[in-house]
């Protein structure tokens, strides 16, 4: 059985002493990001429920709740279990849960934490009710509405209202509101594109609220939004909860989002890095590092090289990353360099530990509580 | 701390009862692949040292050795440790190992198993020697030669021979031979392209052997090759060891390699699948499954849908896969469908367990011993 690997560092170590590959958290940048989110929401009356699928770390979830988050989101039942085991008391599985064993576990979890979940199909509503009855618990269920992401969710308006009625008619389910996440809008590059997408989403939510009210149903929570668009939902006057996740870390792909002046979005700082070791220097312009496909997810492109001016991570194989160096760059064998992940969420999922640094030294090591928790 | 997840199945279960996402091994296909490799090598005088980075599973490594493999390859020290813990007695880290703590662990491992490793830099040779001296063990070291992959490795010919001399001059290192893996050739689509690449690699190895012999050094082992090209290296009259890995499983990307008649290479059967659950049916032509970026590596493209005629896995987000269905396809909520991974190696690394099936039922469950072992 694959044991959890030992941490790559101990408290007090310098960055150069950390074993690699390692996932680093710059605590100053991380704490600044928590603060910045609050600042960008000043004057808004929205609750914050950060998405824990980005960090999968109970320590971070608790830090977010200590700053006023009402709870966290996650995507899987096993992820929710790991977070509740880590002390989180309020968790929304912002996803459909299908299959009897998962549903029973979800309903069981609702006996020791506040548990919310989505539905987009009547059969699933009835299965949620059966599980809650069997476990003697209550589940709060939100209707997932497709507001443009073309993934899960019922159609806005009447179909969503009909499903809400079915939820409200169950004995062990509580109708919680509307989940309207426009995932496709998060990485649209220009502010105009993002605004167009969210304006459309808001209109569809408004139509849905009206259809529900006609049936005498009031959606208490209207939730959605991610790091790329949350100021728009927060300013809509309709959404009353937002779910940004990546803002705590940032990544290369979010770094490609632009402000209206054409510069990269600069709201949040990069706090997450991968530490790599140079394990081969075959030519003057090539360095090979020990971070490849099994230590970094390339779904949103290659990582960026943070510490070497002009260096470019060209390609990844399973356990190698090939970096092109400007001629004359002094990067000897054994050098440790930091990479900025292309996409933080699936990269974090490859690590057991988050090595927390301040002023170049290890201050703490946090377990990634829900690493690999995909059931 | 992220505990290892419980297995998604127990022996005797039918496929439909397995929790998802799950990694399935079709035992009939797997065993046929082991047999086919032997058959394709009949009459060749090459040793087989399969690459365990594909499966990371001690049970599979032992099955390969029971059929005559001399040992296995892997890419990392922690991977080697996990395999030795699982009973493997001979392991080559087919990679450079850099950094004192890793080198000490490698040298320590050589006290309880036969351990081979590569080098491509004189500083690394001296560090290997120091570690072996400190641990009182002996390491067999092969020179990695770049024969066209443009990753690690010294240049062929004299530079490789010079490094071999340095290895041979150490007290605790044994010069083991030449490692000449043409990784870039494995996925060239036509037989002519693969043959051109390997013909060139063989010429460079020949030049290197000559340079070593001039210095009085005889490379005992000349090793390399993968699933895409191994018949070429095995027939070269020069390589005396081959390292195919993916042949036990196959994947969608290897499935795109062609024979000379333009048909897909049909040497090996697909034995590895991901089991997914349909968790949303938002439209008549869209199904969403619970397998996304955290349950499948998309570096070589999206997975293929094995069980639904005409279905196409369009895109992945963290925990969702969007599948397009032909109109009228009957795939209700909760249906379990099998996917063929785009790239087996980094996908296997996302799972703790391999669920072994025969005739539609679970026969055994094997731990993926070195899952996540990247130190």
- What pLDDT, on the 0 to 100 scale, is given for residue A3? 58
Query: Could you give the strand order of the β-sheet that contains A221-224, starting from the edge strand earlier in sequence?
Result: A47-48, A241-242, A221-224, A173-179, A139-144, A114-119, A90-96, A72-74
Instruction: Please report the number of interchain residue pairs, chain A to chain B, with beta-carbon separation below 8 angstroms.
Output: 202
C-alpha to C-alpha distances, A187 to A90, A179, A264, nearest whole angstrom:
28, 19, 12
Separation CA B118–CA B144 (nearest Å): 6
Q: Is A143 within 8 Å of A109 (Cβ atoms)?
A: no
For helices A158-168 and A191-214, what crossing angle results, to 10°? Answer: 50
Give the model's pLDDT for residue B1.
37
Asked if A350 is an interface residue toward chain B (Cβ–Cβ < 8 A), one would say: yes
Q: Do B282 and A350 touch (CB under 8 A)?
A: no
Ranges of residues in chain B with a pLDDT under 50 are 1-2
pLDDT value for A344: 97
Tokens found for residue B115: 């351990």
Chain A interface includes B95 (CB < 8 A): yes
DSSP string, A282-304: EETTEEEES-STTTS--TT-PPE
ipTM of the complex: 0.97
Contact A279 B95 (CB under 8 A): yes
Phi, psi of A336, deg, nearest 5: -105, 125
pLDDT of residue A2: 44
Please state, in angstroms and rounded to a whole number, the distance separating the CA atoms of residues A107 and A113: 10
Choose among B163, B186, B205: nearest CA to B243. B186
Q: How far apart are CA A11 and CA A362, in angstroms?
A: 5
Q: What is the 3-state secondary structure (H, E, C) of chain B?
A: CCCCCCCCCCCCCEHHHCCCCEEEEEHHHHHHHHHHHHHHCCCCCCEECCECCCCCCHHHHHHHHHCCCCCEEECCHHHHHHHHHCCCCEEEEEEECCCHHHHHHHHHHCCCCEEEEEECCHHHHHHHHHHHHHHCCCEEEEEEECCCCCCCCECCCHHHHHHHHHHHCCCCEEEEEEECCCHHHCCCCCHHHHHHHHHHHHHHHHHHHHHHHHCCCCCCEEEECCCCCHHHHHCCCCCCEECCCHHHCCCCCHHHCECCCCCECCCCCCCEEEEEEEEEEEECCEEEECCCCCCCCCCCCCCEECCCCCCEEEEECCCCEEEECCCCCCCCCCCEEEEECCCHHHHHCCCCEEEEEECCEEEEEEECCCCCCCC
pLDDT in tens, chain A (375 residues): 345 789 999 999 999 999 999 999 999 999 999 999 999 999 999 999 999 999 999 999 999 999 999 999 999 999 999 999 999 999 999 999 999 999 999 999 999 999 999 999 999 999 999 999 999 999 999 999 999 999 999 999 999 999 999 999 999 999 999 999 999 999 999 999 999 999 999 999 999 999 999 999 999 999 999 999 999 999 999 999 999 999 999 999 999 999 988 888 889 999 999 999 999 999 999 999 999 999 999 999 999 999 899 999 999 999 999 999 999 999 999 999 999 999 999 999 999 999 999 999 999 999 999 999 999
Contact A375 B21 (CB under 8 A): yes
Question: CB contact, 8 Å: B16 with chain A?
Answer: no
Q: Which of residues 165-204 of B touch A (CB under 8 A)?
A: 183
User: Measured between alpha carbons, how far is B25 from B120 in angstroms, rounded to an integer?
Assistant: 37
Is A17 an 8 Å CB contact of chain B?
no
Q: How far, rounded to the nearest angstrom, does the alpha carbon of residue A141 sit from its chain's CA centroid?
A: 21
| Backbone phi and psi for residue B162, each to the nearest 5 degrees, phi listed first | -65, -40
CB contact under 8 A, A352 and B372: yes
Q: What is the pLDDT of residue B38?
A: 96
Query: Which positions in chain A touch B317 (Cβ < 8 Å)?
Result: 151, 183
pLDDT digits (tens, 9 = 90+) for B259-292: 988 888 879 999 999 999 999 999 999 999 999 9
Residues of A within 8 A of B56 (CB-CB) are 2
A97 touches chain B (CB under 8 A): yes
Which residues from chain B sit within 8 angstroms of residue A124, using beta carbons?
Answer: 333
Q: Is A334 left (phi over 0), alpha (psi -120 to 50) or beta?
A: left
What residues have CB less than 8 Å from B223, skipping those under 6 apart? B49, B92, B94, B142, B177, B178, B179, B180, B181, B239, B240, B241, B242, B243
| Residue numbers in A near B99 (CB within 8 A) | 19-20, 277, 334
Closest CA to B75 of B44, B104, B106, B113: B106
What residue in B sits closest to A350 (Cα-Cα)? B372
């Amino acid at each position: 059985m694959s044991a959890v690997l030992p941490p790559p560092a101990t408290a007090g170590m310098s960055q150069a002493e950390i074993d690699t590959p390692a996932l680093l958290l710059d605590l100053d940048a991380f704490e600044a990001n928590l603060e910045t989110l609050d600042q960008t929401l000043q004057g808004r009356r929205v609750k914050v429920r950060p998405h824990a699928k980005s960090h999968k770390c109970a320590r971070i979830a608790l830090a977010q709740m200590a700053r006023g988050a009402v709870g966290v989101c996650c995507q899987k039942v096993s992820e929710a279990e790991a977070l509740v085991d880590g002390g989180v008391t309020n968790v929304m599985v912002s996803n459909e849960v299908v299959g009897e064993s998962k549903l029973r576990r979800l309903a069981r979890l609702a006996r020791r934490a506040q548990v919310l979940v989505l539905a987009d199909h009547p059969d699933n509503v009835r299965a949620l009710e059966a599980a809650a009855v069997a476990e003697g618990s209550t589940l709060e269920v939100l209707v997932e509405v497709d507001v443009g992401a073309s993934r899960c969710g019922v159609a806005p308006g009447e179909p969503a209202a009909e499903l809400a009625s079915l939820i409200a008619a169950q004995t062990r389910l509580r109708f919680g509101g509307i989940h309207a996440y426009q995932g496709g809008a998060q990485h649209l590059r220009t502010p105009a594109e993002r605004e167009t997408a969210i304006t459309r989403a808001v209109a569809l939510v408004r139509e849905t609220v009206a259809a529900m009210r006609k049936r005498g149903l009031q959606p208490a929570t209207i939730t959605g939004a991610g790091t790329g668009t949350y100021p728009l939902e927060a300013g809509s006057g309709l959404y009353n909860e937002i779910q940004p996740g990546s803002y705590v870390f940032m990544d290369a792909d979010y770094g490609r989002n632009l402000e209206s002046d054409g510069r990269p979005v600069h709201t949040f700082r990069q706090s997450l890095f991968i530490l790599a070791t140079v394990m081969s220097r075959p030519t003057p312009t090539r360095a090979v590092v020990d971070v490849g496909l099994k230590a970094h997810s390339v779904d949103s492109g290659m990582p960026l090289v943070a510490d070497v001016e002009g260096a470019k991570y060209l390609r990844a194989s399973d356990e190698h990353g090939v970096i092109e160096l400007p001629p004359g760059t002094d990067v000897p064998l054994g050098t440790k360099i930091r990479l900025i992940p292309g996409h933080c969420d699936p990269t974090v999922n490859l690590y057991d530990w988050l090595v927390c640094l301040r002023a170049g030294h290890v201050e703490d090591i946090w377990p990634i509580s829900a690493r690999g928790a995909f059931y």
